[in-house]
Amino acid sequence: MSNALGNHILVEFMGCDPHIMNDVSSIERDMVDAALKAGATVINSTFHHFSPYGVSGVVVIQESHLAIHTWPEYGYAAVDLFTCGEMDAWISFDYLKEQFGAKNYSALEMKRGAVNLLTRLDIDLSSMRTKAAEWVNPEMYTRNVWFTDKDENQALSLRYTGEVFYDVQSPFQRVRILESPKYGKMLTLDDMFMTTEADEFHYHEMISHPALFTHGNAKNILVIGGGDGGTVREILRHDGVEKVTMVEIDGEVIKACKEHLPSIAAAFDNPKLDLIVGDGIAHIKQAPAEAYDIIIVDGSDPVGPAEGLFSVEFYRNCYNALKPGGILVAQGESPKFNEHAFTELNVTLQHIFGKDNAPVSLFYVPTYPTGMWSFQYGLKDGRHPKSVQETEAIDNFVSTKGLRYYNADIHHASFALPNFVKALINGK
């Protein structure tokens, strides 16, 4: 590479799986992984699905870029692997060949920017560097890059500035902190929104305070998941809580949020918190019977590491680990987005806790697809959240702690369900 500025491999992949060639999410993941496997530093990626079929996209890397255009109807992908420095782009080539299931391929390697044909300009590079440092991405608020959380038919997109504060492929998922002009910094896992600075309080206040006020005397609480720290921050606002154990499987989520979302990850140093990086499913399996007053399952959607958080066995173990009068709260998905997961979870909770002991609360999150989201409860012979009467205590707490979503009215209102949601959970 000594006599050229860059190395360009122009690749033809033929006989590829047409479904993969039309799947924008999996192509983006493969292209990003191809860069990472070759040791590249990924700056950003943008991918687009064309109607009715075809995908184009580019992964910008510190070492240049990887780009792709696909024609699913021909099982064909045209790929450019452009690199500078020591990176071995053939590693990316081998990886993509496997991922796309290419039956045939050809590759043409070219040196780009032959140094003996170029004349180095006599300009002051150091002043250019100073200028660049002053600019700090002047286009930040005009760039048109979008993050999309979607299923096959429905999506929610937020424009982000292009700033990527954190991007690590952990053993479990891709952990990113991006910045959106509308919602501030946000945590994404794989292709899903988890939380944003501007609307996290909707979720974190509603996953914790209704359960704590319903219980009335919770001292020992277990949180499974919740790696951003927002849930434990809210729980620890209650002075009567003596201990919170939090078990998060992915240490990268905690690290990313401590570094970049400190207002959410605000309670990790609280002495009442026992923070365990480990498997919450295994933890609850081994937990002593009747150990906890409240168990909160602050997991992500039922794909990847969170899949086991939706199983019957997991919730049976939670039931056993709750004290009599204990309360389980689980991230319950959306009756408008993940209707199946929403309904199945309630079937599971009714089965384990009893038909009348599996209430659902609905709340509004602008940054989750459809905006309508739920927490689902399992009551181990305790009182029903709807019977809570301590309006004054709640309102005092709300004003002392400066809460922005939860209040006594919302406590009751969130358990009032539209007819279509009642039909979903009573229909089975």
Catalytic sites, residue numbers = 298
Cβ at position 45, least distance to ligand SPD in Å:
21
CB of 310 to ligand SPD, least distance (A): 12
**Is beta strand 372-379 parallel, antiparallel or unpaired with respect to 360-364?**
antiparallel
Q: What is the nearest approach in angstroms of ligand SPD to the Cβ of residue 231?
A: 6
**In terms of CB distance, is 223 or 388 closer to ligand SPD?**
223
Q: Give the torsion through C-alpha atoms of 191, 195, 197, 200, to 10 deg.
A: 160
The pair of structure tokens assigned to 75 is 């099982």
Our CB check for ligand SPD shows the closer of 35 and 189 to be 189
- Nearest-approach distance from CB 227 to ligand SPD, in angstroms: 7
Minimum Å gap between C-beta 369 and ligand SPD is 7
The Cα 162–Cα 153 span in angstroms is 26
Q: What's the DSSP call for residue 216?
A: S
Which residue number, 13 or 375, has a Cβ lying nearer to ligand SPD?
375
Residue closer to ligand SPD by CB (options 75, 226) is 226
Overall size of the chain counted in residues: 428
| Nearer Cβ to ligand SPD (56/370) | 370
Rounded least distance, CB 150 to ligand SPD, Å? 11
As measured in angstroms, the least distance from the Cβ of 193 to ligand SPD is 6
- Side by side, which strands form the sheet with 55-61? 42-49, 55-61, 64-71, 76-83, 4-14, 104-114
Neighbours of 391 (CB within 10 A): 13
Q: Using CB under 6 A as the criterion, which residues of the chain lie in contact with ligand SPD when the complex forms? A: 192, 194-195, 203, 226, 228, 230-231, 298, 300-301, 331, 368
Tell me the residue ranges of DSSP E strands in 20-173.
Answer: 42-49, 55-61, 64-71, 76-83, 104-114, 145-150, 155-160, 164-169
Q: Which is nearer to ligand SPD, 22 or 231 (CB)?
A: 231
Report the DSSP pairing between strands 220-225 and 243-248: parallel
By beta-carbon proximity to ligand SPD, the closer residue of 79 and 232 is 232
Q: Residue 261 and residue 365: Cα distance in Å, rounded?
A: 18
Q: Token digits for 14? A: 């033929």
The continuous run of DSSP H or E covering 17 comes out as none
Q: How far is the CB of 16 from ligand SPD (least distance, A)?
A: 31
Whole-angstrom Cα distance, residue 29 to residue 33? 6
Q: Which is closer to ligand SPD, CB of 28 or CB of 205? A: 205
Q: Please state whether beta strands 372-379 and 4-14 pair in parallel, antiparallel, or not at all (unpaired).
A: unpaired
What secondary structure letter does DSSP report for 173?
-
Q: Are 143 and 52 a contacting pair, CB within 8 Å?
A: no
CB 263 within 8 A of CB 238: no
**Which distant-in-sequence residues (6+ apart) come within 8 Å of 184 by Cβ?**
196, 197, 198
How, if at all, do strands 76-83 and 4-14 pair? Answer: antiparallel
